[in-house]
Structure 1
Amino acid sequence: MSGLKVVVVGSGIVGLSTAAVLVQRGCSVTILDRDAVAAGASRGNAAAIAWTDVAPLASPGIWKDAIKWMMDPLGPLTVRPAYALKILPWMLRFLAASRPAQVAASTKALAALNAGALPAWDRLWRASGTHNQVRYDGCLEVFTDLRKLAATRASWAEQRRYGIEVRELSSVGIRDLEPALSDKVVGGALVPGWAQVDDPYHLCLDLADWLKTQGVHFQTACVEAVQPGADWVDLRTAQGDTVRADKAVIACGAWSKSLAAQLGDRVPLDTERGYNITVSNPGVDLLRFIMLPGHGFVLSPLSTGLRIGGAVEFGGLDLPANWKRVSAMVTRAKEIVPGLQACEGKTWMGFRPSLPDSLPVIGLASASPHICYAFGHAHHGLTQAATTGELSAQLLFGETPSIDLAPFGAQRF
């Protein structure tokens, strides 16, 4: 089946990774995107290959924290009032996904997907010559509240059941690894298997450059319609052009919902808006990725500076950004890292494409075996991109996927 003409819709990290796998299989690949390479969520993510994260966001106890967080308009989770009615159906599905049986099923599926994440990335990094952009310094989960620390031990135990190493540390042990942290830290854990890239945007640009050397064609075009034929796929753009291919991959993140609907799959995709600031001269040296679960954001040392970001805001694709959320994260970060200097920095807001059960959509479209979905990765687009690319290629080539993809199908809704 080499020589197939494949169109990938989306030039974020998932689309780029999928194109990379396909071109190595001998396909002729075109990437269509409404914007420039990695102009969306892939441009400003936290840079983590967080394959050790196997717990879905939906969980039996999340609502206790969620209600408290939503009382604070600048807290870790908020819903913009103008978007409250639109997000309500998603929230009801999220509530259903928080039942213990569903959480257990989602955890099993995430663990299977994430188990292949780092090996798939290693193959792609080496093939593309970008393997020098990854670090294996681990992740520190840091707590300033003893109750939240105690409550998190159950999730650490779950990770260990899947063979993931988690080393609990005292407050002294944490500060031995990261002396810049304040004495407000009461404890946490080191997850040594975690990996991180130097800068996610630079990785995307370098992958795109490599893909061009492999003959991949990039075209700026907004795909408005997908029409499958007997053994082809037509993609119509907003410019009035029609691109015909043997196969197609829908990997345009937050903009994938309407295309899936045209193909008979009503996917409850929405967006978790994430905010961050990247400070080129933070005044402190952090040696590894630091996660602050009780505060809803992370500290990520990049080659371009310290990225402070995270949080979840439900506000859709059209409402303006609320930059006060960045200021709130910086204020809290300074309490945990007293020497932090963040008066100036590059701010960013992006749209994480999210499903209520925390599982992406990876599978064939109902309308055609020639169209594959690869979207909805939420906080783990970078983590799961390479393995999603391999799985998508397996589906398009009619092969048995390396993991059970039933939990990820669009038809599960």
Structure 2
Amino acid sequence: MSKGHVHVVGAGIVGLATAASLVQRGYGVTVLDREGPAAGASQGNAAAIAWTDVAPLASPGLWKQAFKWMLDPLGPLSVRPAYALKILPWMLRFMAASNPAKVAQSTKALADLNGGALPAWEALWRTTGTHNQVRRDGCLELFDTVQSLEASRAGWAEQRDYGIKVEELDASAIRDLEPDLSSRVVGGALVPDWVQVDEPKVLCLSVAEWLSSQGVKFEVGEVSRLQPNDKGCDVILKDGSTIAAERLVIACGAWSKTLAAQLGDQIPLDTERGYNITIPNPGVNVNRMIMLSGHGFVLSRLSSGLRVGGAVEFGGLDLPPNWRRVDAMLAKAKLFFPELKSEGGKRWMGFRPSIPDSLPVISPATRHSSIFYAFGHAHHGLTQSAVTGQMIADMIEGARPDINPAPFAASRF
């Protein structure tokens, strides 16, 4: 017997995973998206289940490095001049989240959430039959200066405190694992339990196909306005049509802020624009994910080729892409892999929905008990999607999630 119906706004991986948790518990589900499954950031991410990450982006020592980066308009972190005033309130909140006490709280919450991420994905892979789209080759974090290598050891120690395996390696051992690397590398670490998917878009579409087989409906439409009522919420689309939703989950990533504001929740969400290029024939062998933390990007081996991507650009949703950022990443990647070829590469830019304390919003709306939020996952949307779906399903059922939901509440702002 159905427990009722839930409408999910957003067909990215967070919305899809939430729909999967709900349908398994007996709810009827409709997924609404302005384009369809995996049309946004869920198709262009680095394909990592980065459950081993425990540190929030905000940290006491980050500002010194961040200001250096921002002096380079093509560096790992940049702010488009046309967006500087708009991003200022977010930056001030980010600074506030960087004090040691706040960082300690965010680290604990992030470690708890990511600690549940892989088990949640293991269950979802089994249920949806997508377990064959997963690799367990680990991740190499590499450095080209002794100073940056030494600065990373504190973070590795913190990961070990949470039971995460981190194996520091010298340059010779690293090149044994990745023979095509240049001599530029001075050292790094292997995180052996890191997990990667073959192709994020294919995974999303496979989950969507499974959802369809379970009776989940997919509709295309852009939400313009929400009108809560005593029966749930009327969802008014841009074309003027209205959908009556008994329960509603807002999981539309970077576009969630406006909808939450209509409900009275002023969430400090902004967009970290990420860039990448996927090269079908890169001319080099990359055996596992390579993380170049000091340069703000990764190299990720997908079934479609090698993806070189990352970095952060604050520029909102409307400014045109700055494709020179892709060129800058490629130039740096070739310092590490001198034989890397980029011919035939497909460029992409997408929007990461980011909140200053690095914690997503996973909670009911503060004023409307039949509306729920699942957005703001920034760099961890793929990682945290399955566990987010479980938590939202618990909340809709009136059960307390296994992971403490308080740090992720919309009411914290």
TM-score category (smaller protein): over 0.9
Helix, strand or coil: the match of 1:369?
coil
Match of 1:207 in 2: 207
237-246 or 48-57, larger mean C-alpha shift: 237-246
In the alignment, residue 70 of structure 2 is paired with which amino acid?
A: M
1:257 alignment partner in structure 2? 257
What residue identity is the alignment partner of 2:146?
A: L
Q: Which residue of 1 aligns with 2:51?
A: 51
Counterparts of 1:268 and 1:367, CA distance in 2:
17
1:247 CA drift (Å): 1.0
1:130-279 map, 5 Å: 130-279=130-279
Are 1:361 and 2:361 counterparts? yes
* 1:42 match: secondary structure: helix
* Secondary structure of the corresponding residue to residue 274 of structure 2: strand
Q: Which residue of 2 aligns with 1:93?
A: 93
Displacement of 1:341 in angstroms is 0.9
**Alignment-mate amino acid for residue 106 of structure 1:** S
Q: How does 1:297-316 map to 2 (within 5 A)?
A: 297-316=297-316
Note the alpha carbon deviations across 1:129-154, whole angstroms, 9 max, x for none: 11100011110000001101100100
3-state DSSP of counterpart to 1:53: coil
- Paired with 1:102 and 1:35, the residues of 2 have a C-alpha distance of 37
Q: For residues 364-408 of structure 1, what are the alpha-carbon distances to aligned partners after superposition, in whole Å with 9 as ceiling and x for unaligned?
A: 001211111000000000000000000000001100111111111
- 8 Å CA contact 1:249–1:373 kept in 2: the answer is yes
One-letter code aligned to 2:407? P
Q: CA deviation at 1:227?
A: 2.3
In percent, how many aligned pairs have the same letter? 67
Match of 2:29 in 1: 29
Q: CA deviation at 1:246?
A: 2.0
Matching residue of 1:76: 76
Aligned length, in residue pairs: 413
| Kept after mapping to 2: 8 A contact 1:369/1:396 | no
Deviations 1:235-267 (A, max 9, x none): 111121221122110000000001111111100
Q: Superposition RMSD on alpha carbons, in Å?
A: 0.9
Structure 1 partner of 2:125: 125
Letter in 1 for 2:227: Q
Corresponding residue for residue 323 of structure 2: 323
**2:39 partner SS:** coil
Q: Secondary structure at the match of 1:86?
A: helix
Larger deviation: 219-228 or 192-201? 219-228
Structure 1 match to 2:13: 13
- Unpaired runs of 5+ residues, structure 1, are none
Q: Distance in 1 between matches of 2:313 and 2:115?
A: 29
Aligned to 1:368, what secondary structure does the other structure show?
coil
Indicate the residue corresponding to 1:341 in structure 2: 341
Contact 1:11 1:37 in 2 (8 A): yes
Bigger shift: residues 339-348 or 82-91: 339-348
Match of 1:399, SS? Answer: coil
> Tell me, which stretches of 5 or more residues in structure 2 are unaligned?
none
Task: Please say which of residues 138-147 and 236-245 is displaced more in the overlay.
Answer: 236-245
Name the residue aligned to 2:283: 283
The amino acid that maps onto 2:214 is Q
Is the contact made by 1:51 and 1:118 (CA closer than 8 Å) also made in structure 2?
Answer: yes
In terms of mean alpha carbon deviation, does 346-355 or 209-218 score higher?
Answer: 209-218
Per-residue CA deviation, residues 39-96 of structure 1 (Å, 9 max, x unaligned), is 1111100000000001000001111111111111100000000000000000000000
Question: Are the aligned partners of 1:250 and 1:375 in contact in 2 as well (CA < 8 Å)?
Answer: yes
1:174-215 superposed Cα distances (whole Å, 9 cap, x missing partner): 111111111110000000111000000111111111111111
Name the amino acid aligned to 2:215: G
Q: What residue number does 2:401 align with?
A: 401
Which amino acid letter does the alignment assign opposite residue 355 of structure 2? L
Once the two structures are TM-superposed, the CA of residue 231 in structure 1 deviates from its matched residue by 4.0
**Matched residue type, 2:198:** D
1:67 maps to which residue? Answer: 67
Find the aligned partners of 1:219 and 1:120 in 2 and give their Cα distance. 26
2:369 is paired with a residue whose SS is strand
